[in-house]
Amino acid sequence: SATGNFDLSDPAVTSFVAMLALSTLCFVVSTITGNASQVDKIWSITPWVYTWMALDTSNPRSILMAVCATIWGIRLTWNFNRRGGYEWPPWNGEEDYRWPALRQGIIPGFTLLDRRVPWMVFNLTFISFYQNWLLWLTAAPSLVVYAAGRSTACCGESVCPNPSLKALDFVAAGLMLTFIVIESVADNQQFRFQTEKYRRKGAGEPLDGDFADGFNQSGLYAIVRKPNYASEQMIWVCFYLFSVAATGDVFNWSCLGFILLIALFQGSGWMTELITLKKYPKYAMYQKRIGLYLPFKFLWNKSFGKGKENLATP
C-alpha cells in the first residue's frame, strides 16, 4: 500500500520515488533556465506512466485503466506540442503565460513573487513539488486497483484469481473517453480560433465578431468559458470510479487526487480570468452570459432568451 513498508516491488513506492525525482529535476531545470513550465511539459505524461507502473496484467480493470490513461496522455501531449510546448533542447519551449504574470507580482495576493527568494520558494513548493505530487495522486486509483487485486479481502487468497470487470468499470471508461473527446473538440476549436485570429492580424485583415472581441465565444465556448478545463476535471473523476469498482467503497484515499485537481482548477481559473479581463474588456460581458466550468448560465439564458445580443436588457 501507499503507506506500508518501503518495498521497491510495490508500485506505490517506486512511482512515488519517481515523482520525487521528477519534482527535484523540474525545480533545478526551471531555476537554471528561468522557464517555469517544466512541470507543464510532463503534465500529460507522468499520470499514464504511473498507471503503467501499477499495471497488473492479470487484472482487466488495471489494463483498461492504463489504456484509457494512455489515450488521454497521447492526445494531450500532441495538443501541447502543436502549441509550441516542446522544443529542443527539452527545457526550452513556450512558458505558460500565467507564470510570468505571477513572477511579475501583478496577481492580487501574490505580489511578493516579484522578488527572487519568494519566487524560488513558490517554484520549489508549489510549481515543482506540489504539482508533481498532484499528478501522482490523480493516477493513484491505479494503485488502489493494484492493491485491491492482491488483497486477501478480495477473495481470501493472496492474489484474486478473477478480478472481473463490473458495470461501473464500463461506465467509468465510457464517460472518461467521452470527456476526452469533448476536451479534444474544445482544444481544436480554440486552436483554430487563435490560429485564424493571428493570421488575420498578421495579414492586416479586419477583425469581426469573436475575432474583434479577441476571444472565442462559439462552439463549446458558447456553453462554458473553459470547456477543455471542465472536461479535464471530469476525466479524473471518472478515472477514480475504477477504484470504487475495485474496492466496493465509494471513498478511498485516492479520491484526494481529483478533489485537489478540481481545487487547483478553481485557483488557476480565477487567475486566468483576471489576466483575460485585463486584456479583453468585453470579456466581462461574456462572464455574465456564460459560466466558467458549468453550463447553468447558458441553459438559463437559452431558456429565457437572454443571449449575447440582449444581455444588457434587465
Residue 112 to residue 117: CA distance in whole angstroms: 9
Residue 289 to residue 88: CA distance in whole angstroms: 42
The whole-model pTM stands at 0.90
DSSP helix/strand/coil, 291: strand
How confident is the model over 234-249, as pLDDT tens digits?
A: 999 999 999 999 999 9
Mean pLDDT of 240-265: 96
The number of residues in the chain equals 314
How confident is the model over 13-55, as pLDDT tens digits?
A: 999 999 999 999 999 999 999 999 999 999 999 999 999 999 9
Residue 4 to residue 20: CA distance in whole angstroms: 18
pLDDT at 308 over 70: no
Please, what's the largest Cα pairwise distance for the chain?
Answer: 72
DSSP bridge partners of 224: 291
Cell digits of residue 51: 498507471
Residue 25 to residue 7: CA distance in whole angstroms: 23
Cell digits of residue 191: 486552436
**For residue 3, what pLDDT is reported?**
45
Residue 287 to residue 277: CA distance in whole angstroms: 10
Residue 180 to residue 264: CA distance in whole angstroms: 19
How many contiguous H segments (helices) and E segments (strands) does the chain have? 15, 0
Residue with cell 526551471: 30
The DSSP line for 42-76 is HTTTHHHHHHHHT--TT-HHHHHHHHHHHHHHHHH
Contacts 24+ apart (CB under 8 A), 244-250: 244/168, 245/61, 245/165, 245/166, 245/168, 245/169, 245/172, 246/61, 246/144, 246/145, 246/148, 246/149, 246/163, 247/144, 247/148
pLDDT at 271 over 50: yes
- 76 CB-near residues (< 8 Å, 6+ apart): 43, 44, 183
Residue 205 to residue 235: CA distance in whole angstroms: 39
**For residue 312, what pLDDT is reported?**
46
Residue 91 to residue 41: CA distance in whole angstroms: 9
How confident is the model over 115-163, as pLDDT tens digits?
A: 999 999 999 999 999 999 999 999 999 999 999 988 755 554 545 555 7
With beta carbons less than 8 A apart as the criterion, state whether 169 and 62 touch. no
Residue 68 to residue 96: CA distance in whole angstroms: 26
With beta carbons less than 8 A apart as the criterion, state whether 159 and 56 touch. no
Mean pLDDT of 165-194: 97
Q: Of all residues in the chain, what percent carry a pLDDT higher than 90?
A: 82
If one counts every other C-beta atom within 10 angstroms of the C-beta of residue 181, the result is: 12
With beta carbons less than 8 A apart as the criterion, state whether 239 and 69 touch. yes
How confident is the model over 84-98, as pLDDT tens digits?
A: 899 988 888 889 999
If one counts every other C-beta atom within 10 angstroms of the C-beta of residue 16, the result is: 18
